[in-house]
Amino acid sequence: MHPQHSAFNPRSTMSYHLLDAVDRLGSPRILVVGDLILDRYVWGDAERISQEAPVILLREERQETRLGGAANVANMLLGLDATVDLAGVIGDDADGRALARDLDQAGIGRDTIVTDSDRPTTAKVRFMGRAQYRHPHQMLRVDRETRQPISSEIAEQLLEAILPRLAEYSAILISDYAKGVCTQEFLRPLIQAARSLNLPVVADPAAGGDYNLYRGATGVTPNRSETFKATGCEIRTIDDAFKAGRKLVEKFDLDYAFVTIDRDGIALTSRSGESTHLPTRPREVCDITGAGDMVLAMIGVGVAAGIDTVDLCRLANVAGGLEVEQVGVVPISRKAIIEDILRVSRTTESKVGSLDDIVRQVSARRQAGQRIVMTNGCFDLLHVGHVSYLEEAAREGDCLVVAINSDTSVRRLGKAADRPLFDQNYRAQMLAGLASVDYVVVFEEDTPHAVLEHLRPDVLVKGGTYSAEEIVGREVVLSYGGTVKPMGITPGVSTTDIVARLRAIDRGESLSDPITIPLPSTLNSQLSTLKKAG
C-alpha cells in the first residue's frame, strides 16, 4: 500500500492553493512507458524560392536532437523535479544510439528499455524556417517509423525488466503514440500489477487508439478529438465533455477521465459521477507541439504526490498553457509554473493574509528564486513618505512583505490615546493597494520577531532615523545570514506632523501653508537649468 496516494480523491476535504500544491510535489520516482521518439530539428533561414522547383529553399544554420514521445514525457518530468525511468523499445541503429545518449545526458534511467534489431527507432525530422528575421515556423516533417505491434518476446522482455521494480515507483505514465509498443500483451499485466500495489497509472491515449488497452488504469488524458473518436461524443460544450468523460470512466473501468479541451481547459470526471470544469486563461499560442505531454507529466507528478485532483488539473492547465507559448517542445520547470501563478493579477484583498498564508506564498516565491524583503510598522496614516519608502524597499528584492502592528499592539506601544486613527483592516487594505507591496500581514506582538522567524526574509528594511543596529529584529535576521538595511525618511512629512495639523484644524486654528516636501536634488538641478535657459 502506498499511503502517499490516499489524497488522490476529488472528494478529499483538503483543498490546496496552487502554490501549496507545487510545494507539496516533492521528488517522486515515476516510470514512463510507451513509444520512444527521437526528434531532430533542422533550423534555418527560409530565404528564397528554389530555382529547381516552386518550393521554399531552407538555408540550414544548425541541427539539434530532442527527446520525443514517451521520452519527451520523461524529460518533462525531469523539469518538474521528478526522478524518472523510461521503458520502451529502440532499434539497433544510429537514431537509437543518439536517443540513448540523450537519455543518459538528461539523467533519465533506461535500464527498462529493450533494443529490437527488427524495427527502426522512431524518428521525426522537423524543418524549421525563419523568414525576414521573424519567429521560425515548421515547414516540413519527415517521419521514420514502423507501427507494427511489438512481438510477444519483446513484450515479455519489457515486463521482466519492469515488474520486479514496481514498488520503487510512485506512479506510472503511459505515453501511447501508436508506434506499436503499447499492446494488450504488454499493458494489461502491467496495469493489473500496478493497481494491486495501489500504484496510480495514467495514460495519454493514442489518437484513434483502442481504449481497452488502458482498461483498469487510474485515469486517461485524451484531448477533444481523441475523446470524440473513443466515445462518439462530439464535444461542443462543457456538458458534452462531462458526458464523454463519464462514458470513458464507465466503459473502461477508470477512476478518472481528464478530458483536455484546449482553450477551455480540462473537464474532470470521476468514477463517483462527480464532474468539474477547470478553465484555463487565454494564452498566446506559438506551438501546440508537446502540450499533451506536458499535461500528462504534470498530472503524473501531482498524482504521485497525492495532490487533490482539482488542484492537479489547475496545475496541468498552467503547465500546458506555458508549453503552447514556446516554439517547439520545451520542458516547463516548477519555477516557471510558480512564476506564472504569481503573475496572475491579484485583488487588493488577496494580498492580505494570515502569517501561515503569507509564509506559504513566500515559500513558493523562494522556489522561483525570488529575493524576499520585509518591513514593519504601524502605518497609521499612509502618506507620501510611506509610499516613497515602500517603493525604495521593494527595489531591494523581488517581493515586499509589510508586517503591521495590530490595533492592540499600537496601543501597547504607547501611542496617543486615540491611536491608531484607522483600524488594522483599513491600514492593511490601504497598504495592499500599493503596487510596490506584495503581501500584508498583521501581528499582535509588540515586536516583529515572530513574523521574522517564520518568514525569514532575505532583507529587513526600516524607514525613519534608525541606524542598522537600532532596527528591532536585527538579531533574528542576522542569525540566519540575512541583511538589515535602514531606508531613511522623506524630509518634511511624518504621521505625527500630519496628525498635529489635523488636530490644530479641528481646534479652529488657521494653517497658512500646506505640507510640502523638498524636490529631489536632481530635479532641483534640472529646474534650475531650465530657468537659466529662459
The DSSP result for 243-310, as a single string, is HHHHHHHHHTT-SEEEEE-GGG-EEEEETTS-EEEE-------S--TTHHHHHHHHHHHHHHTT--HH
The DSSP result for 200-241, as a single string, is -EEEEPPTT--GGGGTT-SEE--BHHHHHHHH----SSHHHH
- C-alpha R_g of the chain: 30
For residues 90 and 65, is the Cβ–Cβ distance under 8 A?
A: no
SS (H, E, C) 416-475: CCCCCCCCHHHHHHHHHCCCCCCEEEEECCCCCHHHHHHHCCCEEEEECCCCHHHCCCHH
Neighbours of 227 (CB within 10 A): 28
Exposure string for 40-75, b = 16+ CB within 10 A, e = fewer: bbbbbbbeeeeeeeeeeebeeeeeebbbbbbbbbbb
Task: Report how far residue 245's alpha carbon sits from residue 239's, in angstroms, rounded to the nearest whole number.
Answer: 10
Residues with Cβ < 8 Å from 469, sequence gap 6 or more? none
Cell triple for 299? 498530472
The DSSP result for 69-110, as a single string, is EHHHHHHHHHHTT-EEEEEEEE-SSHHHHHHHHHHHHHT-EE
424 phi, psi to nearest 5 deg: -65, -35
Largest Cα separation within the chain, whole Å, is: 99
Task: Report how far residue 417's alpha carbon sits from residue 210's, in angstroms, rounded to the nearest whole number.
Answer: 77
* Cross-strand bridge partners of residue 477: none
HSE at residue 368, side-chain half, CA atoms within 13 A, is 23
For residues 486 and 466, is the Cβ–Cβ distance under 8 A?
A: yes
* 39 flagged as catalytic: no
Length of the chain: 534
DSSP state of 352: B
Catalytic residue among 39, 204, 255, 293: 293
Task: Report how far residue 290's alpha carbon sits from residue 330's, in angstroms, rounded to the nearest whole number.
Answer: 8
Beta-strand pair 219-220/122-130:
unpaired
For residues 204 and 320, is the Cβ–Cβ distance under 8 A?
A: no
Beta-strand pair 266-270/275-278:
antiparallel
The position carrying cell 542598522 is 468
What is the set of active-site residues? 293
